[in-house]
Structure 1
């Protein structure tokens, strides 16, 4: 039997208790699952960093922004700061500038 998405998410985050952790996130519906589980976990939040691997070059307020979705649904519930989140600079003028940043 395959693990349920909830069990997988719990095991994924719980396995990072000892080490500095880099969590690479993409968009989709996973944020909804994580937002319902992760805030209840006791983790070393200061040692966890979130990276976005498929962010769109749109303002963070856009529904198309992966970071925007994670921020509004998950990050607001966690004891983390912007230092824990590695994201694109959406204020740059072009995708090319963003890629070089």
Structure 2
């Protein structure tokens, strides 16, 4: 897969509103390009603050949401009506606010253990990525945790070295709830775009550790092969880094 044009690696904007705007405009740009090229847009989303960014930003863009297929970079193995469910939050905040429909979200199977849920999620992938040895997402919207984790890939965890599975279970997450499923680095680093968006002074030190010090943290290992790695930061989160 070839990139349609490199984006800036590190973008520093004034405040949270500008982060939301820049992120949403990038999503629209890539969505338009991929739909024009292949007829659909495969995007993976994360939880946390990203839900709020998208809740505010996506209703303001003119994208062909009917061509979107929305996956989860990771998901907690909890019922959809649990406050811990990432899909539950998107269902609450995005369906209705945009033209996205519930059946466009590729969700984990309910009522089964994490290992089975991961296997089932992986089995769904070839329907959306036919003929690909590793799923190549058009865009993954990632989050950076306070410990430098991304998806449900935590510092020092054995899943950091997973090379064969597309989706892995984790039952000992250091953050509750402990049972989750997560995309692995072979899938993450096959994406056309990997995008981090972060705001606030509480993010600044970890951003520095990843982008300046380049410490071996999960988020530092996000290095899409032949794709684009994009960071969108407000001035507070980007205090110790320079726009590139």
TM-score, structure 1 normalization = 0.86
Other-structure match for 1:95: 114
- Greater radius of gyration (CA): 2
Q: How many residue pairs align between the two structures?
A: 100
- Contact 2:70–2:106 at 8 Å: present in 1 too? yes
Match of 2:67 among 41, 44, 47: 47
Q: How many angstroms does 1:17 deviate by?
A: 1.5
Q: How many angstroms does 1:45 deviate by?
A: 1.0
Q: How many angstroms does 1:69 deviate by?
A: 0.8
Distance 1:58 1:52 in 2: 14
Distance 2:83 2:89 in 1: 7
Summarize the alignment of residues 11-26 of structure 1 with structure 2, pairs less than 5 Å apart: 11-15=25-29, 16-18=31-33, 19=35, 20-26=40-46
Unaligned runs of 5+ in 1: none
TM-score, structure 2 normalization = 0.38
Larger % of strand: which? 2
Structure 1 residues 2-24: Cα deviation after superposition (integer angstroms, max 9, x where no partner): 14421332222211124221111
Distance 1:36 1:81 in 2: 17
Structure 1 residues 56-75: Cα deviation after superposition (integer angstroms, max 9, x where no partner): 00001111111111111112
Other-structure match for 1:66: 86
Larger % of helix: which? 1
Distance 2:22 2:109 in 1: 31
**RMSD of the TM alignment (CA)?**
1.6
Other-structure match for 1:76: 96
Q: How many angstroms does 1:83 deviate by?
A: 3.0
Task: Point out the more displaced range, 76-85 or 31-40.
Answer: 76-85
